[in-house]
Amino acid sequence: METELPRTEDEWRVRLSPAEYRVLRQAGTEAPWSGEYVATRTEGTYRCRACDAELFSSDTKFDSHCGWPSFDDALPGAVTVLEDRTMGMVRTEIRCARCNSHLGHVFEGEGFTPKNVRHCVNSISIRLAPSEEQ
Ligand SMILES: [Zn+2]
């Protein structure tokens, strides 16, 4: 059962913790190596912490040594991308396709995996639903 989405930022503030709100709704970034899923190997599906939509499979998670959970693919249609020109560089931001909350950035051409893509995601933007609970 998918829950109804908040319609205003005030409603998001009520639903999310201040730290979650800062990343998900204000495109903040958690400190590297601080997130709970950096080194997680548990099998399952990572869902959006804001709206519970399924975003990433643990099958695509890999160890990038960058300090954030990294995935070389997203579930089909789960994320949207847009150009981010903040911080003095051009990056590609990824957001949840369902609720438009900020997840992280996507980088290409680094050669980590055969797909050559790294979805660099804040742990606080996602929540792991382990396979055995599904
Ligand atoms: Zn979402």
pLDDT digits (tens, 9 = 90+) for 21-33: 999 999 999 999 9
pLDDT tens digits for range 7-66:
999 999 999 999 999 999 999 999 999 999 999 999 999 999 999 999 999 999 999 999
Q: pTM for the full model?
A: 0.93
Question: For residue 92, which of 103, 104, 101, 82 has the smallest C-alpha distance?
Answer: 82
66 carries an active-site annotation: no
Q: Which two tokens stand for residue 83?
A: 């150009």
Find the catalytic residue in 48, 51, 96, 120.
120
Distance 65 CA to ligand 1 centre (A): 26
Compute, in angstroms, the gap from residue 51 CA to the centroid of ligand 1: 4
User: For residue 20, how far is its CA from the centre of ligand 1 (angstroms)?
Assistant: 12
d(CA 44, CA 57): 6
CA 103 to centroid of ligand 1, rounded, Å: 9
105 Rama sector, left if φ>0, alpha if ψ -120 to 50, beta otherwise: beta
